[in-house]
Every structure is written in structure tokens, then in C-alpha cells.
Amino acid sequence: MKQFHYTLFFLTSFIVSFSQTTTLSVQFSKIDQSCEKGSAGVQVLSGKQPITIQWSNGVSNNFSIQDLVEGDYSVTAKDSALKDTVINFKIEKLECKVIVANHFTPNGDNYNDAWQIAQTTYYPEFELYVFNKWGQQVHSQKGTYIPWDGGVVADGTYYYVFYFKGGDKNKFLKGDVTILR
């Protein structure tokens, strides 16, 4: 009789599956309305693709929107697993800041030859008065700003008052401007 030697190995096989739950995460940013209209945007940080975006003003699948006026808005981001995130936000109307140059050089070199006041178009009812050191008015404007070239006044420091309506209040700026020829 022949003798055989057998070695038996018992193998057990199994399948391991990993399931990863992806959460929908978005980052939001906004710019309130000031001199220009407001804007808002979202950036998707995680979520099951594809992601859809729906803004309350009807715009869809854009990650940012512009030309927003003062008011309440929302944005909904939804992933393909039907998880969604809703962000409610408000665009506020901020006052547009008037920017007044503190000097100019009307010397004919086409560089800084006139006094610039920025953002006056947002205040159509403005009034501007410029005075010399003795308090005599040397220049004035109302309604539409036209850069002032200093006219015939001498070099020196002049004082201005800029009246405007900001929101529902009457406001003013005052300061000085230097003319260097």
C-alpha cells in the first residue's frame, strides 16, 4: 500500500467594501452694494458631483452672481446624492465714499492738471465751494462735477466744503487742496 501525505489549507475569502459618506460643503462670500452693485459667490469644497447651484434671483449653475441691489437673497447648492445646503444672505447698500484729491498741478504737462473728486456721480445734488485763506469763494459747482483746473488763482492752499445727501441725511466733507504750478 502506498502512503500519501496531504496538507490541507483552509482559506476563507471575504470581500471588504468601504463606503465613504461625502458631505456637501460650500464656502460663501459676498460684497455689499456701494458705489457699484453687490455680488456673491460660492465655492464647493466637497460633495458628490455633479453639483447644481440655484440662486433666488433665478440664476442657476453659476458659482457667482453680480449686479445685486439691496435686498434678501439665497443660494442652494445640491449634489447628486441630493444633499443640499441653503445659504440666506442680505445685500446691504453701503454709502459710496467720496474721494477728494488733496493737491493738483495745473502746469500743462497733462498729468494731474485738474482737481479730481471721485464718486460725485452718485451724489447728483452735491454742492462744492472752494475758498482762499481769507474766506473768499474762488470756485463753486453744483450737480455735475467738472474737474477744476484752478483757473487764475495763485499757487497755495485752498479750503473746500462738499455738501451732499448720503442716504436720507445731508452730509458734508471739508478739507484743503493745494495748487502747485
Q: How far is CA 49 from CA 18, 69, 78, 83, in A?
A: 19, 31, 9, 11
Spell out the domains of the chain, with CATH numbers in brackets: 25-91 (2.60.40), 99-179 (2.60.40)
Q: Classify burial at 77, counting beta carbons within 10 Å of its beta carbon; exposed 0-12, middle 13-18, buried 19 or more.
A: buried
Is the pTM higher than 0.85? no
Per the CB < 8 A criterion, the answer to whether 20 and 46 are in contact is no
Q: How many residues does the chain have?
A: 181
C-alpha separations of 179 from 119, 122, 144, 170 in Å: 21, 26, 22, 28
| Tens-binned pLDDT, residue by residue, of the chain (181 aa) | 455 555 555 555 555 555 555 788 889 999 888 888 899 999 999 888 999 999 999 999 899 999 999 999 999 999 998 889 999 999 988 888 899 999 999 999 999 999 999 999 888 899 999 999 999 999 999 999 999 999 999 999 999 999 998 777 899 999 999 999 9
pLDDT of residue 94: 84
